Amino acid sequence: MDGQITLNKLVKRFWKKASLTWILVLLEGIFLILIPLVIGWAIDDLLQNKIKGVIQLAVLCFFLLIIGAGRRFYDTRIYSEIYRVVCSEMTLREFRRETSVSKISARTNLFTEFIEFLENSIPDIVNHLIGLLGTLIIIYFIEIKIFWLCITATFITGLIFFVSQSRMLRFYKGQNDEFENQVALISTKDTKKMKKHFKDLMLWNIRLSDLETINYSLTWIVLSTALVVSVFFAVSSGSTDVGHMITIVIYVFGFIESILTFPLYYQQMIRLHDIATRLR
């Protein structure tokens, strides 16, 4: 590494090894977005004493199993190799800079968050993003009023987290400052300093948790309101097709589920931004 460790540089350096897992993630996301639609078909077919839709649903679930399991087996091995290579390089670089053992230890631990984000969060982000965009497209063609309802809910949710961004970054910086000094403080064997350190570490954690709880509560109020209103819109759409109405509600619920997860990834990105600054 040239001294900078960022998600962008990691992706550029190891894209050949990781390309297969990204392809599998895209396929998994596309198949997942089709599930509510196929469920609607299965319900309609069963109401007409047909099993074609059920067979289609079973086949789709089987392909999801193969793709999902295969990707997870491959992911673990690829990202373990990336961690081994980069962590070794980073440790040698920090030794040449005569960085304290405390900070080297903390930074190698912090780097694991990059690997965990690439292995676990990126596939989920891609799946939820495909699900979100696919859901909005499908809802647009099924019921335009619910589409604009979802767009409004998305905008308000984004605004909630945009307003809290600077405070969140400040909290993560304070928490990571304490974490980097942990080994050095413990080495002093000063009980008073250690107690203060762990108290401060937990105070930063509480501040982050409280901010997350406030943001989650505001987001849930917005999204649950959208869900309730969408049920009224689905029933009043004029359709007598039960499968059609169930499909609409399932897609709206999937949309809400995706929106609720993005703030968590957003928080991870803010934390990684602070970690990347330290790893430079």
CB 164 within 8 A of CB 215: yes
The reported pLDDT for the residue numbered 239 is: 58
Q: Per the structure, how many domains does the chain have?
A: 1
Copy the structure tokens of residue 248: 């609409």
pLDDT band at 32 (very low <50, low <70, confident <90, very high): confident
pLDDT in tens, 183-215: 677 777 777 877 887 888 788 888 888 888 888
pLDDT value of position 38: 84
Q: How confident is the model at residue 156 (pLDDT cuts 50, 70, 90)?
A: very high
CB 226 within 8 A of CB 252: yes
**Residue 130 resides in a domain:** yes
**Least reliable range by pLDDT among 70-74, 141-145, 155-159, 181-185:** 181-185
Tokens at residue 76, please?
């673990």
Note the pLDDT tens digit of each residue in 163-176: 888 888 888 888 87
97 or 52, higher pLDDT: 52
Domain-embedded: residue 44: yes
* CA dihedral (159, 161, 162, 166) positive or negative: positive
* Structural domain includes residue 114: yes
Report the phi/psi class of residue 62: left, alpha or beta, with left for phi > 0 and alpha for psi in -120 to 50.
Answer: alpha
pLDDT mean over 33-57? 82
In a domain, 94, yes or no: yes
Q: Looking at residue 278, what is its pLDDT?
A: 66
CA distances from 277 to 54, 110, 250, 273 (A): 51, 11, 41, 6
Assign residue 263 the CATH number of its domain.
1.20.1560.10
- Please say if the pLDDT value at position 99 is more than 60: yes
CB atoms within 10 A of CB 48: 8
For position 279, what pLDDT does the model report? Answer: 64
In a domain, 208, yes or no: yes
Residue 19 lies in a domain: yes
Q: Residue 134: pLDDT above 60?
A: yes
Give the domain extent around 231: 7-279
User: Quick check: is 2 in a domain?
Assistant: no
Residue with the bigger pLDDT between 139 and 5: it is 139
Helix, strand or coil for residue 164?
A: coil
Write out pLDDT tens, residues 207-257.
Answer: 888 888 888 888 888 888 888 888 888 777 665 566 667 777 778 887 887
Given a contact cutoff of 8 angstroms between Cβ atoms, the answer to whether 21 and 123 are in contact is: yes
241 domain-assigned: yes
